[in-house]
Each structure stands twice: as structure tokens, then as C-alpha cells.
Amino acid sequence: MTTTTHINSKGKKSLNMVSNPTLPDSDAQFRRVRKMIEDLHAEIMAEPLRMVLQLSTNEKTGLSVNVPISTCTPTALCMRYCYTLQGRTWMPSSLAVQMRNQRLFDYLATASDDVVRTVAYDIAAQCRKKKTKMLRWNGVGDLSVGACRVINMLLAIDPELTLWVISRRADMIVRLDDAANLRLQISLDPTTPVKVEATLRSLAHNYRKAAVRYAFTRTAESDVANGPINTTFNYHKSDDRAWFGVDPTACPASVPVDKGGIGHKGACASCQRCFAPREASF
């Protein structure tokens, strides 16, 4: 097992931190979170339907729409490194928010346009109140029919609000309208099945501002990705960041500040590498 130097934003070293940390068994943790969602299902369904989407906040990525991982079609790497399986986003209170949001989207899948419009206007109002011009869609989870309807309505009613939509689901991406304020990030990784990747890549050409992004998470200096990578996320916890040497693909918010990285707060809005409208550099 190797160790590496971790340097926080104040330039202080965290010594003897393991560079290839013990991560949860992906299958076991995924099943655990799915079981928690199943256990909460009856409780959430017994509540009155909430017609307001609950937005979440994240210091790095900003305001976001989160739904349960039951909407995902995860790859092997996605399951292993998904922060939903490791952080606070799988706590019961967070799961409840995600499930209420998905319950609303399930309802909106067949609701009238007027109802969808009302929900979209409320989201726009929440963003204005938070003084943000960018909303991340799927900080956790993936698209559904109802979510796509809300996204399309929101794109139309608030052209000043940028929607950063992340998805691996081709069957849902095709439902999205092309719009100047849509930033579609089609997520791939080295374990994405070949046929799935081909289908997702073909969809990118339907959107003027779509970005196909190959991502990789590096937890040790010996970690090597199989194939070209657009963004590498070095192992980090907020300002405590591993340093594996210069890497032009490294997310700047996962690189020590004194090594050229940027601060955690608002990093995604200032960088935008993950969803800038460029094709993957293969």
C-alpha cells in the first residue's frame, strides 16, 4: 500500500494519509442504499404530494436537483466511486429529499403542461432567490420522463438560467429539447459498455452545447486509466487533496491550491470544463 502527500488550501501537509483509501464494497454499498430507499418508500408515499421541487446545495457544484440512485444505470466505476454511496447524500434525510423529488417527477410525467409550468416557475424563483444563474441537474441520480418535461419547460421560461444536465441514459436524453441555455454533459468512463458509449456519442450531435466527458477517479499514484480521459478527479475531501504530479486532465478543485488548483467553493461554475460544449478529445 502506498502513501502520498496531501496538501490543503492553507498549504499544510496531511502526513501518512493513504493514497489508495479503502473504499466501500461497491455492490454491497449500492444494495445497502437501494434497501434504504425501499424502506423509506412507504413513508414518502404516505405523505401528501409536494408540488415544489426541493433543491440541494453543494459548496463545489452549487445548487442542484437530486433524485435517488434507483434512477441510474451505473457502470462498475460509477458504482465504486459515486459519492452518493460514501457521503452524506445517502443519509435518510437526504434520501427523503431525493425520493420526494422523484415522486413529483413521476406525477409530472403525465400531468398537464400548466402543472409542469408551475413547477418550473417555482424552480426559477428558487434560483433567483439563491442568486444563481446555473442549476446542476442530477447531482445525484439520472433523468426520468417527468424530469425531462420540467427541464424543457424551464429552458423555455428562463433563458437566463443555465441548466447543467448530467446523464448516462440515452432513452431520456432524446427527450430533451436543444436550447441555448442547456449544457448537456454525457458521462462516460472506462467501464461504459461499447454499444452504450456509441449510442450516447451519437446523441451529442443533436445538441449545440453537449459535451461528451470521459471521467476517471484517481486514488493512488499507480492508478492508470484505460483509454483517453477528459477529467481526472484526484482523491480529495474538500480542501484536503492528494498530489500525484502535474496532470492536465485533473479537476482543478481536486488539485492543491499551491499546485495550481482552485478553491472548493463555486469551483464548477468558474471552471466549467465538465460541461463546456466541446467534444471529447480522443
What backbone torsions phi and psi does residue 3 show, to the nearest 5 degrees?
-125, 160
> Would you state the pLDDT for residue 239?
65
3 state DSSP class of 44: helix
- Which residues sit opposite 186 in a β-bridge? 167, 212
Least confident of 57-71, 77-91, 151-165, 205-219: 77-91
Compute the distance between CA of residue 276 and CA of residue 258 in angstroms, rounded to an integer: 25
Q: Which three cell numbers stand for residue 91?
A: 443519509
* Most confident range, picked from 25-29, 83-87, 103-107, 207-211: 103-107
CB 235 within 8 A of CB 219: yes
Least confident of 11-20, 176-185, 271-280: 11-20
- Flag whether pLDDT at 2 surpasses 70: no
Residues 6 or more apart whose Cβ sits within 8 Å of residue 86? 23, 24, 29
60 vs 21 pLDDT, higher one = 60
- Which residues sit opposite 6 in a β-bridge? 14, 242
3 state DSSP class of 269: helix
Least confident of 15-29, 75-89, 119-133: 15-29
Q: What is the mean pLDDT of residues 120-140?
A: 95
Assign 44 a pLDDT band (cuts: 50, 70, 90): very high
> Would you state the pLDDT for residue 89?
66
Assign 19 a pLDDT band (cuts: 50, 70, 90): very low
